[in-house]
Amino acid sequence: MALVLAPRVSDSARARAWIVEARAIVVFSGAGLSAESGIPTFREAQTGWWARFDPERLASPRGWEDDAALVWAWYVSRMARVREAMPNAGHRALAHTAYAGKLSLVTQNVDDLHERAGCRDVVHLHGELFAHRCSACGKGHADVALPSSRAVPERLEPPGCTQCGGRIRPGVVWFGENLPATAWERAAAMTAACDLMLVVGTSGVVQPAARLPVLAKRHGARIIEVNPQASALTDLADLHIAATAATALPILLDA
């Protein structure tokens, strides 16, 4: 059975007080939050057949050009797993507080669990798994037909664009690609204006996303980190809640 850690009473009380005092809260979420819903990280998902491949072959423009059918099959298998997953208590607590106008959400996750929990406006720094677009002309395709289970072939030809006939790709940021400019600008602006940032379930090593907590600190915001383990951002945090997001966030955000 997985270990579920609960926050210490003194730490949770302090965090709750800061949350009540805050005028503008930004939540910066990462893979640890989705992992509690059963979604593995990119590299953790490379099991079985997929373990043979270098990550950059499955998530780079070069890999797409070399073998789009392999890359599309990999992402279709990931999409099926995300569809099976459900938002956890951490997602729901964030959605409830965001609905009340207390916080804004910036995520490194490409899944749609924040939205399915009820969040209306999520800034996705690394793109969105289901926001398919043409790799040639950029046209968005929201109605791509996908297999109903994770039992997908090892290679699967991507569908064609209805506008130009190019190959449709996942709407995620691959190795070697820039973050979506609009998403980054929005995230940076919200971060600079917040007085409290909740850093939830991220290792803090993926750049440039990991610059956001540094930017928040530079503008005078308090940083609360929610993570069962220490991360690259722990020393930056004013308070580290050593607990899982699904356990800690309902307690902290009930304030």
> What is the rounded CA–CA span in Å between residue 94 and residue 135?
33
Task: Kindly name the residue from 126, 132, 141, 240 that is annotated as catalytic.
Answer: 126
Check if 96 is active-site: no
Which H, E and C letters describe the chain, residue by residue?
Answer: CCCCCCCCHHHHHHHHHHHHHCCCEEEEECHHHHHCCCCCCCCCCCCHHHHHCCHHHHCCHHHHHHCHHHHHHHHHHHHHHHHHCCCCHHHHHHHHHHHCCCEEEEECCCCCHHHHHCCCCEEECCEEEEEEEECCCCCEECCCCCCCCCCCCCCCCCCECCCCCCEEEEEECCCCCCCCHHHHHHHHHHHHHCCEEEEECCCCCCCCCCHHHHHHHHCCCEEEEECCCCCCCHHHCCEEECCCHHHHHHHHHCC
Burial class (CB in 10 A: 0-12, 13-18, 19+), 147: middle
Cα dihedral 21, 26, 29, 34 in deg (nearest 10): 70
State the chain's maximal CA–CA distance in angstroms. Answer: 59
Residues designated catalytic: 126
